[in-house]
Amino acid sequence: MNAPQEILEQIAEKLIEGDANSVAALTRNAIDQHIEASDVLNKGLLSGMDVVGKRFKKNEFFIPEVMIAAKAMKSGMEIIKPLLAAAKIKARGKVVLCTVKGDLHDIGKNIVSMMLEGAGYDIVDLGADVTKEVILEQIKAHQPDVLGLSALLTTTMGYMKEVIEALDRANLRQQIKVIIGGAPVTQTYSEEIHADGYGPDAVSAVDQVNRLLGL
Interface residues with ligand B1M (CB under 6 A)?
Answer: 63, 102-109, 111-112, 148-150, 152-155, 179-184, 199, 201-202, 205
- State which amino acid sits at residue 31: I
Residue 195: strand, helix, or coil: coil
Residue 167 or 180: which CB sits closer to ligand B1M?
Answer: 180
CB of 151 to ligand B1M, least distance (A): 8
Query: In this structure, are residues 199 and 97 in contact, taking their beta carbons and an 8 Å threshold?
Result: no
For the bound state, the minimum distance from the C-beta of residue 82 to ligand B1M, rounded and expressed in Å, comes to: 28
Residues 3 and 136: their CA atoms lie apart, in Å, by 49
Amino acid 178 reads V
In whole angstroms, give the CA distance from residue 87 to residue 81: 10
Minimum separation from the CB atom of position 30 to ligand B1M (A):
30
- Residue 77 or residue 111: which is nearer to ligand B1M going by CB? 111
Our CB check for ligand B1M shows the closer of 134 and 153 to be 153
Side-chain half-sphere exposure of 172, counting CA atoms within 13 A: 23
Shorter beta-carbon distance to ligand B1M: residue 106 or 162: 106
Q: Whose Cβ is closer to ligand B1M: residue 67's or residue 89's?
A: 67
Shortest distance in whole angstroms from residue 163 CB to ligand B1M: 11
Q: Do 157 and 192 form a contact (C-beta atoms < 8 A)? A: no
**What's the CA gap between 16 and 10, in Å, rounded?**
10
Contact predicate 109/150, CB 8 Å: yes
**SS3 (DSSP) at 40:** helix
Nearer to ligand B1M, 80 or 125 (CB): 125
Provide the minimum distance between the beta carbon of 13 and ligand B1M in the complex, in angstroms, as a whole number. 24
CB of 175 to ligand B1M, least distance (A): 18
